[in-house]
Amino acid sequence: MAKWGQGDPRWIVEEREDGTNVNNWHWTERDATLWSRGKLRELLVGIVVENEAGRCEVSELKQVDGEASCSSRKGRLIFFYEWNIKLGWRGTIKESGAKHKGLIEIPNLSEENEVDDTEVNVSKKKGDGDVLKELMRTAGTARVREALGDYLKALKTEFTMGMILPTKALATQEVTVKRKLSEDAMQASSPAALGVRIPTVALHMTELFDATVEQLYSIFTVKDLVQQFSKSSAVLEAEKGGKFQMFDGNITGEYVELLTNRKIIMKWRCRNWPEEHYATVALNFVPTLGQTELQLHCKGVPVCKEENVKICWQKQHFEEIKGLLQLATLHG
């Protein structure tokens, strides 16, 4: 195999227009929480309803608690979302010009309920103005549910663009949108965007090796073995708080926890990631009949770098380690 960044151009994902998802085999999870909060604000705030009695407007997003994510596995998308939303509304009675305020509460927007069945509670501060409350309870609630439906459509189309390999007929269109999303993500993670959290994904991979847990664990913690499978120089301090550097400095990080022959947790990053951003990589070594299953859990991968990380582990780690083990068996 070639060194990191060299060799077979099929594995240089950034240069492939269809490289947004090579095979969708391993479980990929994309965190949609931050994106969802922005989308819900965009769709809900500013809703206006009006009749002969008055006019009401959703004026602010007071609270949005919960989370959302999308996972892909073998070409299938799985959605999870659960939100508790509180909106502020204000209205004016046309005849008197009196102004009133109130709340709209959506206690459980989740995949367990259809949008049309989602509970929407409208309340108003004390005093007159029940005609405005009724306007919000009827026409306002309908508009709110419509906006929630638009959010779910966007979650399942706009946010997930690129998670499934597009058909040839849609490739050009989807790649263009994916590039735009990737550019936006990178702009959000630039040093100028202080305080902006980088959109990330979590990756989960498993691989079987013809080795004992002791053999496989040593390949990740012994400098000479790391240099053999990576075919490059390495710096390794295999202890808690110790630093490491692999593939001629393209991969760097720090050991967070080492449980001998059982588990390794690392802070891990690629050189081309946003400065000072690290993923958390956990490697679990599970003995099986005559083999060892390696379970990899990687959280905090920048959203536009997920395929590169998958290929890094599959090609530059797993396949090269298997080659090293085969050589050891032959020479044994």
- CATH number of the domain enclosing 271: 3.30.530.20
Q: Does 190 map to a domain?
A: no
Distance (Å, whole) CA 163 – CA 303: 10
Q: Does 69 map to a domain?
A: yes
pTM over 0.75: no
Residues in the chain: 332
Q: What is the pLDDT of residues 37-67, one digit of tens each?
A: 889 999 999 999 999 999 999 999 999 999 9
Q: Does 194 map to a domain?
A: no
Q: Of 101, 124, 158, which one is at a domain's C-terminal end? A: 158
Distance (Å, whole) CA 188 – CA 251: 23
- Residue 304's SS3 state is helix
Distance (Å, whole) CA 271 – CA 116: 47
Q: How many domains does the chain have?
A: 2
40 & 151 share domain: yes
227 & 153 share domain: no
Q: Of 158, 190, 223, which one is at a domain's C-terminal end? A: 158
The confidence score (pLDDT) of residue 261 equals 95
Q: Which of 213, 241, 212, 235 lies closest to 223, judged by CA?
A: 235
Looking at every residue in the chain, the average pLDDT score rounds to 81
Q: What is the pLDDT of residues 143-197, one digit of tens each?
A: 999 999 999 998 888 777 655 544 443 344 444 444 444 444 444 444 433 334 6
Q: Does 258 map to a domain?
A: yes
Answer with the residue of higher pLDDT: 73 or 265. Answer: 265
Q: Does 183 map to a domain?
A: no
138 & 252 share domain: no
The single residue listed with the structure tokens 């969802």 is 36
Q: What is the pLDDT of residues 319-330, one digit of tens each?
A: 999 999 988 776
Q: Of 105, 128, 158, which one is at a domain's C-terminal end? A: 158
152 & 36 share domain: yes
119 & 209 share domain: no
Answer with the residue of higher pLDDT: 177 or 307. Answer: 307
125 & 59 share domain: yes
Q: Does 174 map to a domain?
A: no
The single residue listed with the structure tokens 């400095």 is 249
Q: What is the pLDDT of residues 95-151, one digit of tens each?
A: 899 999 999 999 999 988 888 889 999 999 887 789 999 999 999 999 999 999 999
The confidence score (pLDDT) of residue 77 equals 79
* CATH number of the CATH domain containing 40: 3.15.10.20
One-letter amino acid identity for 205?
M
36 & 144 share domain: yes
Q: Does 16 map to a domain?
A: no
Q: Does 128 map to a domain?
A: yes
* Displacement of CA 141 from its chain's centroid (Å): 31
Of these ranges, 25-34, 281-290, 299-308, the one predicted with the greatest mean pLDDT is 281-290
126 & 228 share domain: no
44 & 154 share domain: yes
238-240-246 Cα angle (round to 5): 40
Domain with 214 in it: 200-331
Answer with the residue of higher pLDDT: 305 or 62. Answer: 62
Q: Which of 198, 181, 180 lies closest to 189, judged by CA?
A: 198
Region of 320 please: left (phi>0), alpha (psi -120 to 50) or beta.
Answer: alpha
Burial class (CB in 10 A: 0-12, 13-18, 19+), 52: exposed
The confidence score (pLDDT) of residue 27 equals 60
Token readout for 29 is: 């999870």
191-193-199 Cα angle (round to 5): 95
Distance (Å, whole) CA 325 – CA 319: 10
Of all residues in the chain, the percent with pLDDT exceeding 70 is 78
121 & 216 share domain: no
149 & 208 share domain: no
